Each structure stands twice: as C-alpha cells, then as structure tokens.
Structure 1
C-alpha cells in the first residue's frame, strides 16, 4: 500500500506476531529494541503499521524509534489526500482527516496544564488544551460539512437531470486496483487515471457509451473498496459511493489474478450491502486481468466463466472478452415490458411530460381531474418514474 504514495521507497516489511498487545508500545520491549536497531541501521524515516495504533502507542514508538509512524487509517488518509482532485473529493478527505485527528488528541499532548478561563482575575479553571483543540476541530468539521452539503446537493441535481435522460446507468465497482479505470477507459475511450496502485480513482467519473448494439448507456467509474476501511472514510465517502445506488446495472470488477481475489470479492459484497444496494439491482461479475495469468489458468477461467450466469472473463488491458461483456450489458436492458393504466392529476405536468419523453404512452384520455394513460414500460422506467 505504501508504494501508492509518491516519493516513498519501501525498504522492507515484516510480519510481527503479537501474543498480547502492549498498551504502551504495541510491541514487547524486546521487539521494540530489535526494530529500533534495524531502523537506525537502514536509516528509516517512516514506519507503517498495517492495523490500528492508539495515540499513546504512536507517541511512545515515535519517541523511542526517532521516526514518523502511520497506522493503517493514517496511511489510507495520506493516499486519499494525494489522489483527490474534485472539490467534493478534497472536502471528503479533509473531513475524514479531521475526524481521525480528533481521536488522536486523547493523551497525545504534553501541554495539559489548565488555561485560565473567565474574565480578568475572576474565573473558573478554564479548559484543557485538548478541549480547546477538540473544539477547534469540531468547528472546522461543521464548516466542512456545510460546504460538502452544497456539493452533495449539486450532485443530486445532476443525478435528477440524468434521471430525465432515457439512458441506463452502469456502475463499475470493485476492490481497489482491480482494473476498473482501465476497463472504463477501454469501453469509453476516455483517459481516466489508470495505474497499478491503490485508490487511483477517488472521484466518480461518468461517460456516455454507445454499445455495439447501438444502445447508449452512462458508465460510472467509482472509488475502489478495501477491507477494514476506516469508519471515518466510510462516512466521508458515502456520497461518492451513492452513485452506485443510482445504477441500473452493477459491474463488479475483480482482479482474478490476485491471490486473495475471493476475499476481496467478499469485502466488496459487504460494503455494497452496507451502502444499501439491494439484490434487486442486476449485477455482472467481471473477472479482469486475464493477461496476468498463465495459459492453463487462463483457459480454466474462461471455461468457468462460460459455465456461470452473468460472469465474464476479460482483460481490460488487451480487450480480450470485452465484446461479450458489452453485448451482455446491452441485452440486460432489452427488458420485458408490462402494460398498465395510470391516473395522473393535472398538477403532475412534469411526470406527464416525462412519460411522453420516454415513449411509453400507448393511449391517453383526459378526465375531470387529469389524464388517464395506458402505458407500456420496463421495470427500470417504472423505477425512474417513482423517483421523479
């Protein structure tokens, strides 16, 4: 994960087994001394711990080792801060970072003497430096949330505008570095940042795509998921991930060459469930990076994919298998249509215009109160109508 940050050179790594977590220094005294000697010998400036580290443990280890230390949440925040480009992305990163910093204030300070409060020479004991810092962070959080609310409202207006466009939305989701942006670029001809690194995409990107059948869809590239995503980030990036809730079809892109692809897929399923993505939204599984497996595995994956419904083995890099995938995406929207009669009052002029714009009105009769309309539409169009 550290290699995802520019300017960092990973010198080494080690799995340290902890029979018992030490509250003061995380590791036992012997391991702390051993690592201190190693860091000094290799001139280490930064140590990353793939897990939670308390403020006290962080302060003590940094003092003992003479290095800067980041835990898993701190590192992910650094990566996110480096990647964010849009106004919403930057605000979300700042908000997550402040939420994280607030938890690091407890017992992490040495200047805890009380400041004198009140006016003149009369007054109570005042407040601690921690309380003052926490209040300053809370004020900043409120300010950021207000700015973010404005951005989110703008995004909702864009979504509302897209609902009026008769094109289905296809969302790419998946574990970070699964190849979503490469697939997005291959399908759309766009040039979204696509690199072999974690969280290359933070800000959702959308493009119109004309499928081989001639059908037009909107393709959405989203932020990659990761196991044990810090709670601050889940909350802060919820608005970004909500693009998935608007999707008519979800493409779950998997790095099929990764040794932990099954575990990654389970993590993605858990996060989708936590976002409120229901089983009613159609989903295709895309086994990406066929170009990275050997010939025997390659053939086996193709056989497995063909034997399963809605599973497609592809290489976004070479284009292998993409024709079949795009044909299936197109076919998914050749939905069964149902007929029904709808009573619509004159006050619902916008809905009336939308139904005609969708071309689903078979016949229409005016009544005393409004219109009586015979419709023929798909489940997707009915869903869109309910959301107007």
Structure 2
C-alpha cells in the first residue's frame, strides 16, 4: 500500500502526461477534411496613424496572406485623391506624389484573403505644419542666362533667404552634375550654398542642378518648400587678365589671346581687389552711386556718375566700363574708384564679347584679395579652403 503523499504525486504526474498528449486552445484547429486552416489576411499602413508626418514620406500599404484590391488616400479637407500605384503582384501600394504640408489624409484599403474573405483597413494621418518654408532660389536665375549660357567662372548658388540651421542635411540634398564630369564642391556663406569646380568649368559643359529639399528639415521650424531641377550651359571660355603693373588687360578666348587694351585700375585710396572676379550683371547705360556700398553724399569718396558699357565684377562697386575722364591715364596710371576703366571703343568691344560668368583676373593692383562673400568671391579661397567650407565633414 502506497503512502497518501506518494499516491497523490503519482496521480498528478499521470494527469500532466495526459495533458501533454492532448490538443489545447493554442493548437491550430483542423479545417474540414482534416486540412490546416488558411491564416487570416493582414493589412498594414505606414506611416502609422497620427500627427506630424513628413509629407515627403510616401504612404505605403502592404498585405500578407492575401492581395490588395484597391487603396484610396484622400485629402480630408479638399476631398482630392492622392495618386498612387498598386504593385503588379497585388501585395503593396504606394503614393506616387508628395503629400501637402499641414493636411489630414484618410486611407482606405481593401484586400481579399487567401480564404476569399474581404478585409477593410482604415487609417488617418496629419502632416507637419512648418513655421516657415524655404525656397531653392538660384543665382544666376536660369531664365536670365537661358539664351547665352554662363561663363567658365560661374558659381552655382542656392540662396535660401531663411536661416539654415541643419546645413549638412540640406547640403546632402543638393547636387550639380557636370557633363563632362568635373570635380567640384559646396561652400556655405551665411544661408547660401555656393558650388564651384576645382578649376574653371570647361567650355561647353552642361550643368544639371538639383535641390531635393521638399520635406527637408532646415531647423527651427523651417522646411523645404519644393524640389527644383534646372540646367545651365557653359559657353566659350572668356578670361580677361588685368595687370596693374603694365596697365594693360589681355583678353583670352578659349585660351588664345585675342585682344589687349590699356586700362586704369583703382587709385591708392580705392584699389581694385586682387584675384578672380566673375561678371554678374551688365548694363549698356548705368548710374554708378557709391552710396550703394555705404559711401553716401557728404562723405569722403562719394561719387555718382552715368557710365556706358558697364559690367559688374563685385558687389561693392567694381565694374569694367567706359570712362572718358580717365582715358589720358589709361595705360599709365590708376585713378579710378576701384573699377577697371576703358576707352569707349574697348569698353563696347568688351561688353559685346564678354558676359555673365566670364572671368576678370586682377593682379598687381595694390588691393586686398576679393572677399569670398563679395557676391562671386568664390575663387578667392584655395581648393582646400573651399572644401573646408562644406557643411558635410
């Protein structure tokens, strides 16, 4: 005869053994005919329902154990459907156009399971509302150079006109593709991203410029307004070399010197900046006013005069232009306020042959190097210094 405790233990062990051999609630129930039942269809929607969704993120719908039959994404306020595409295998769907800022979208998906049963899934999400939006403003404006193209010295500038805190994140979305391929890089000046090649562009180069900034977080509540793609064409190489020692300016077309002309650079008190300048604007008739760069009427050095055949080479009042008053000094002494003075015939020739993006290199002027921030002072830094100006380290 067993003791009571031993008999009770034996009965418990036997009960556990019987339980392990039987089917419980977690086991798959057989369907009719003893076959395994098909698993249920599952539909997932991303991004998940909620607030502050980035509008550049596509809405995707995926199905398992079934196939999607249709999906609609609708702007709740406007009632307008967002374009999307169903994959050929019926397992996924995605929007094919970006969402809008500060908008609510309703998602409705229908699918059919492997068992033939229909399933419906719904979701609702709201996109972020930026405090401010940043546009990809381009300098030079593509329309302004559409017919004539740009010169070999032309930097490409995205001027965002708003504070850019996350410069590295923005720069990652900017690109300049050159054909033929040439090495280049970005350099930030305040809230503008400048791009130039290591050397001057090759004549005939095509530049595809892209800013994929829609939905990009610039920081401090600022987001990119829209993407932009533009194309520039680089025309023939025109490089002028103005020498303050010889008081001559030699003009090179595609590497060959085609003309030399006497000049007068800036006098000792207002010397012309040294280095490579880039033509940024041109006017057949132009009123030059020193007040535009801070020297106004009543101050020493103030001037205001009407000049012909004027081409701007810096943002602080330096031009290449005709000056009848300095013809006697041209070729012998520097008497200007910083401009490169020419006689009428040479100024007209220069105006008719050179234009936006062409280069004027100044040597031996007695001036300081053109500052990098002075509109197109982009060629003042060495290549190593230029690369260091990128926000991506």
TM-score with structure 2 length normalisation?
0.23
Query: TM-score by structure 1 length?
Result: 0.23
Whose radius of gyration is greater, 1 or 2? 2
Greater per-residue strand proportion: 2
Bigger fraction of residues in helix:
1
Higher relative contact order structure (alpha carbons within 8 Å, sequence separation ≥ 6)? 2
